[in-house]
Amino acid sequence: MAKKEKSGEKLRELGNDLVKQINKGKGPVINLPVRALSNVSFDKKSRTLVLGNKMAQRIFFNVAHAKKFLQTMEVASVSKNLLKEGKHASLRDVFYMIKRTIPGTKVNLVDDQSESDSCIEDLELITEHSREKLNMTANKMGSVVGNVTILDRGDTIQWNKMGSGGYSIPSTVEEIEFKKVNAKYVLYMEKAAVWERLNEDRFWEKNKCIIISSQGQTTRGIRRLLQRLYEEFRLPIYVLADWDIYGAYIYSVIKYGSIALAHMSEHMAIPTVKYLGITYDDIEKYGLQKHLIKMKDTDKDRIKQVASYEWFKDNKDWQRQFEMMKKLDAKAEIQALSARGISFITEKYLPEKIKNKEFIE
Amino acid sequence: MAKKEKSGEKLRELGNDLVKQINKGKGPVINLPVRALSNVSFDKKSRTLVLGNKMAQRIFFNVAHAKKFLQTMEVASVSKNLLKEGKHASLRDVFYMIKRTIPGTKVNLVDDQSESDSCIEDLELITEHSREKLNMTANKMGSVVGNVTILDRGDTIQWNKMGSGGYSIPSTVEEIEFKKVNAKYVLYMEKAAVWERLNEDRFWEKNKCIIISSQGQTTRGIRRLLQRLYEEFRLPIYVLADWDIYGAYIYSVIKYGSIALAHMSEHMAIPTVKYLGITYDDIEKYGLQKHLIKMKDTDKDRIKQVASYEWFKDNKDWQRQFEMMKKLDAKAEIQALSARGISFITEKYLPEKIKNKEFIE
């Protein structure tokens, strides 16, 4: 609960500061860092995406700022109440909770969720607390199993007694308490079907690891879970994704942070994460050439873009992967390994790669 | 395991039948029902979508059939091996497992997953077993909590001790054994964020129910879980969805079955399921008019289409909902209820609606 008080305190500070300004006869102003690509850079020391020093002012008595100022205050007020009640709201809930016509006008406080979302991200910067700690959450997704025992809302949950389904990862993992973690590493995969394969083969038990999946995008809940397992237990994190530009970017976001959430890198990025596969070398070694899929034009454009990102552009190993994607005009899915047999992935591919430390960083 | 042997036996029957035909000097032929809209109808007695009596032949010595014949055999062979090994494969895995160039030719056995998927659906018809019982699965999705204890792959799992996350629903629930089910009804909702709200408020405990969510589409795993809870424990199933045409269709698929899977209605449809909300009447009663969202043109086209389906076209209650959607040119999300307070849904909306039996059927 200490953490909650902290984010609540920050909100009170914000409110007190504004009241002070008003009492001094000043028009209220909020100072906050600029949250835009122009203020995002790749920090070579921490090896994460970080926000720069450019500051902005949100001025109540400025026609261009007044609405956003109000929205920020409303979102802060919703957060304060949520913390007080000990409840969480989804981003969509928050949108509906602040949506109304400003009294005496025909202007809606918010017309679109993107407006409240943006204010929530600003509030992360202002309070220096993640939106999860402000009790605002995005959609949940993903499953986990492994030899781990957690305490979650008073329930003791054993991740090694989860049958075929697994523990369903909540949208916020901040309040989960780890009671026992008996694992050598964490394997994160972008596909639920691959996770089901690994779980059915009890890969996590045989290889003393934790397996985590999403379906497609890595939610913030999953990213924070990965980060906590690394920060608190020093578990290496390995990423298993398709050999395509989207797989590379999934890895990149987990490792370096994302442009949109550069201000959250400290709480989300894991610079030590390693990319396990699929790689071009896997395709050669395991004879998967016949199982390549032709790229689309949009894939090619995206390769050009991602390959030029600061954190990729001097990375020879990744540039080679991007080059080979372009040269072969192809991508390869994790499940292409099934061509070699349904349990090839669990019995040969993964153990061999991990034993030989065949990672890309 | 009895169930597995049954689907395995059906596969053996198929193989034996073909061998017999060949031994008689005949070209092998598979008989199977036509699986197309022209052979799908709404059965007024069972109140589900069913397949008609039109039969088709798949003839090996027919240039137009030969490839599909081979594909069907390959898929049957993969299924037989999976059943023998006691393993499950995703639809994507199956595609890669049968993908190869036919020896002596330049023709690929399959070029696209839709081809193997279609053969798997045929195999469901030929064997009269769902693909889950043929050990072929689609993606997993969704979470469940409630006062239920299950036995799953040797693990005893209590759905009432699942903290904030819940039990992650597997892609196939056929082998789950229910040890204890202490609930008055099942509430299924299309949104994970709403499920998190209900779980945080311990709605399932206070109201003695089971809560299940997906995110968007209802997977086959979830549909079968709902059906098993109804068939084996006679639990009423209530659906909570957005007031839009997609919400209505989500409900329709759970209740009546789907056009593409009409042959599976017996295993999937639940004719007694009831639609709880959101309804036009909720919008009026709870003053949500300001929280409506404008429809898109595609929404309007879809309303026209769905409203004319046989199972909807004589249903006055639903036609009224469709009319009101068109009249207001609007839709409403479940989360619009949050405008009335974060726990309005759990403290007032749901208990009141269920108590007053305000359903649409």
What is the structure's pLDDT at B255?
95
User: For residue A195, is pLDDT > 50?
Assistant: yes
A-chain residue closest to B100, CA distance: A290
* pLDDT range class, residue B3, cuts 50, 70, 90: very low
User: What pLDDT score does B188 carry?
Assistant: 98
Asked if B117 is an interface residue toward chain A (Cβ–Cβ < 8 A), one would say no
- How many angstroms away from the CA of B171 is the closest CA of chain A? 8
* CATH class in words for B143-355: alpha beta
- Cβ under 8 Å to B: A residues 180-239: 192-197, 200-201, 215
Task: Quote the CA–CA distance of B199 and A168 in Å, as a whole number.
Answer: 13
Q: With 80 as the cut, is the pLDDT of residue B2 above it?
A: no
Distance from CA of A143 to the nearest CA of B (A): 6
Q: Kindly report, residue by residue over B101-151, the tens digit of the pLDDT.
A: 888 999 999 999 999 999 999 999 999 899 999 999 988 999 999 999 999
Structure token digits, residue B140: 């997993």
State whether A196 and B90 contact (CB < 8 Å). Answer: yes
pLDDT tens-digit series, residues B16-25: 999 999 999 9
The alpha carbon torsion through A103, A106, A109, A111 (nearest 10 deg) reads 150
User: What DSSP state is assigned to residue A50?
Assistant: E
Question: Could you tell me which chain B residue has the CA closest to the CA of A161?
Answer: B155
Contacts of B152 in chain A (CB under 8 A): 162-165
Chains A, B: CB contacts within 8 A come to 196
* Domain made up of A183-355: CATH architecture: 3-Layer(aba) Sandwich (3.40)
A333 close to B (CB below 8 A): yes
CATH 1.10.10.10 fits B2-137, yes or no: yes
Neighbours of B236 (CB within 10 A): 18
pLDDT of the residue at A5: 52
Confidence of residue B5 (pLDDT cuts 50, 70, 90): low
Q: Write the pLDDT tens digit of every residue in B255-306.
A: 999 888 888 888 889 999 999 999 999 999 999 999 999 999 999 999 999 9
Write the CB contacts of B215 (distance below 8 Å, at least 6 apart in sequence).
Answer: A139, A141, B141, B142, B190, B191, B192
Average pLDDT, chain A: 93
Instruction: Identify whether B349 is a catalytic site residue.
Output: no
Give pLDDT, residue A349: 97
Nearest CA in chain A to B337: A96
Interchain CB distance below 8 Å, A99 and B291? yes
pLDDT in tens, B305-344: 999 998 999 999 999 999 999 999 999 999 999 999 999 9
Intervals of CATH 3.40.1360.10 along chain B: 143-355
Surface of B (118-177) touching A: CB under 8 A: 137, 139-143, 150-157, 161-172, 175-176
Stretch among A78-92, B213-227, B315-329 having the lowest mean pLDDT: B213-227
Task: Tell me what pLDDT residue B265 has.
Answer: 83
To the nearest whole Å, the CA of B106 is away from the closest chain A CA by 12
- Where in chain A is CATH 1.10.10.10? 2-137
- Encode pLDDT of A200-253 as tens digits: 999 999 999 999 999 878 999 999 999 999 999 999 999 999 999 999 999 999
**Is the pLDDT confidence value at B216 over 80?**
no
Would you call B165 and A140 a contact, using CB atoms and an 8 Å cutoff?
Answer: yes
Looking at the partner chain, which of B150, B162, B336 has a beta carbon nearest the beta carbon of A157?
A: B162
pLDDT higher than 80, residue A1 = no
Question: Alpha-carbon distance A273 to A259, whole Å?
Answer: 18
* Model confidence, pTM: 0.93
Query: Residues A311, A252: contact at Cβ < 8 Å?
Result: yes
Structure confidence at residue A3 as a pLDDT band (50, 70, 90): very low
| Whether the predicted pLDDT of B74 surpasses 90 | yes
Task: Kindly provide the b/e burial profile for residues B343-360, where b requires at least 16 CB atoms within 10 angstroms of the residue's own CB.
Answer: bebbeebbeebbeeeebb
From the candidates A96, A188, A256, A309, which is the catalytic residue?
A96
Contact residues on chain B for A141, CB-CB shorter than 8 A:
192, 215
Residue of chain A whose alpha carbon sits nearest to that of B153: A163
**pLDDT given at position A2:** 39
C-alpha B244 chain-centroid distance: 19
* Distance from the Cα of residue A260 to its chain's centroid: 11
pLDDT of A357 higher than 90: yes
What's residue A361's pLDDT? 93
DSSP E strand stretches across chain A = 29-33, 40-43, 48-51, 55-59, 89-90, 136-137, 143-145, 148-152, 155-158, 167-168, 177-181, 185-189, 209-213, 237-240, 274-277, 293-294, 330-331
Q: What's the full length of chain B, in residues?
A: 361
Average pLDDT, chain B: 93
Question: Which residues in chain B are contacts of A164 at CB distance < 8 A?
Answer: 152-153, 170, 172, 175-176
Contacts of B205 in chain A (CB under 8 A): none
- Chain B within 8 Å of A288 (Cβ-Cβ)? no
Report the pLDDT averaged over residues B158-169.
97
A193 contacts B140? CB cut-off 8 A: yes
Q: Under an 8 A CB cutoff, do B196 and A167 touch? A: no
| B292 CB within 8 Å of a chain A CB | no
Q: Is the pLDDT of residue A68 over 90?
A: yes
Q: Give per-residue pLDDT as tens, A256-272.
A: 998 888 888 888 899 99
pLDDT digits over B27-43, tens only? Answer: 999 999 988 888 988 88
Torsion sign (Cα): B333, B337, B338, B344: negative
* pLDDT surpassing 60 at residue A110: yes
Where do the CATH 3.40.1360.10 domains begin and end in chain A? 183-355
Q: Point out the residue among A85, A155, A291 whose CB comes nearest to the CB of B163.
A: A155
pLDDT at B1 over 60: no
- CA gap B132, B135 in Å, rounded: 5
